[in-house]
Amino acid sequence: MAITEQSLNWDYDGPIMEVTGLEKHFPQSTGIIHQLIGGETSHVKAVDGVDMAIESGETMGLVGESGCGKSTLGEVLIGLQEPTGGSIKFLGTELDSMSDSQRKEFRRNVQMIFQDPYESLNPRFSVEQWIREPLEVHDMDNQDERIYEALERAELTPPENYIGEHPHELSGGERQRVSIARALVLEPKFIVADEPVSMLDVSVRASILNLLRDLVDDLDMGALYISHDLSLIRQMCDRTSVMYLGKVVERGPTEQLIKGPKHPYARALLDAVPVPNPDHNISEPQLEGEPPDPVELPEGCNFRPRCPFAAEECFEEPGLDAFQTADGEHAAACWRVETVDNM
Amino acid sequence: MSDQNTTALDSESNVDALDTELSTWRERQADAWRRRLAFLKREPMGLAGILIMLAIVLVAVFAPVIAPYNPTETDYGNSLEPPTAEHPLGTDSAGRDIFSQLVFGARPALQIGLLSAISVAFVGMNVGLIAGYYGGYVDDALMRLVDFAYGIPFTPFIIVLVALWEPSKWTIVGAIALLLWRQTARVVRSHVLNLKEKPFVKSARTVGASDRRIIYRHIAPNVLPLVFLYGSFAIAWAILTEAAISYLGFGDPTAVTWGQMLQSAQQSQALARDAWWWFTMPGIAIMLTVISAFLIGRGYEEQLNPELQEP
Question: What phi and psi values does residue A22 have, to the nearest 5 degrees?
Answer: -65, 130
- Residue B21: its pLDDT value, please? 63
- Residue A204: its pLDDT value, please? 85
pLDDT tens-digit map of B34-66 = 766 666 677 788 888 889 999 999 998 988 888
Asked whether the beta carbons of residue A108 and residue B198 sit closer than 8 angstroms, the reply is: no
Sorted by sequence, the CB contacts under 8 Å of residue B178 that are 6+ apart come out as: B149, B157, B161
Residues of chain B above pLDDT 70, percent: 86
Annotated domain spans of chain A: 15-26+44-251, 260-273+299-342
The yes-or-no verdict on residue A218 having pLDDT over 50 is yes
Q: What is the DSSP string of B125-140?
A: HHHHHHHHHH-HHHHH
pLDDT tens-digit map of B179-212 = 889 999 999 999 999 999 888 999 999 988 999 9
Q: What is the ipTM of this complex?
A: 0.83
A238 interfaces chain B, CB cutoff of 8 Å: no
Count H helices, E strands: chain B?
14, 0
The yes-or-no verdict on residue B277 having pLDDT over 70 is yes
Exposure b/e, B133-162, CB count within 10 A at least 16 = b: beeeeebeebbeebeebeeeeeeeebbebb
Q: Tell me the pLDDT band of A1, cut-offs 50, 70 and 90.
A: very low
Annotated domain spans of chain B: 1-42, 45-308
Asked whether the beta carbons of residue B206 and residue A111 sit closer than 8 angstroms, the reply is: yes
**Is residue B16 within a helix (H) or strand (E), and if so which, with residue range?**
helix B12-37
- Residue B192: its pLDDT value, please? 94
Residues of chain A above pLDDT 70, percent: 92
- Give the CATH fold of the B45-308 domain: MetI-like fold (1.10.3720)
Asked whether the beta carbons of residue B199 and residue A120 sit closer than 8 angstroms, the reply is: yes
- Residue A8: its pLDDT value, please? 81
Asked whether the beta carbons of residue A122 and residue B29 sit closer than 8 angstroms, the reply is: no
Give the chain A residue whose CA is nearest to the CA of B9: A145
What are the chain B neighbours of A133 within 8 Å (beta carbons)?
204, 207, 209, 217
pLDDT tens-digit map of A226-276 = 998 888 888 889 999 999 888 899 999 999 888 888 888 888 888 877 777
pLDDT tens-digit map of B230-247 = 888 888 888 888 888 888
What are the chain A neighbours of B205 within 8 Å (beta carbons)?
80
Question: What phi and psi values does residue A139 have, to the nearest 5 degrees?
Answer: 55, 50
The yes-or-no verdict on residue A2 having pLDDT over 70 is no
- Decide yes or no: CATH 3.40.50.300 for domain A15-26+44-251: yes
Chain B: nearest CA to A324, how far in angstroms?
36
- Residue B276: its pLDDT value, please? 81
Give the chain B residue whose CA is nearest to the CA of A169: B32
Q: Could you tell me the pTM of the whole model? A: 0.78
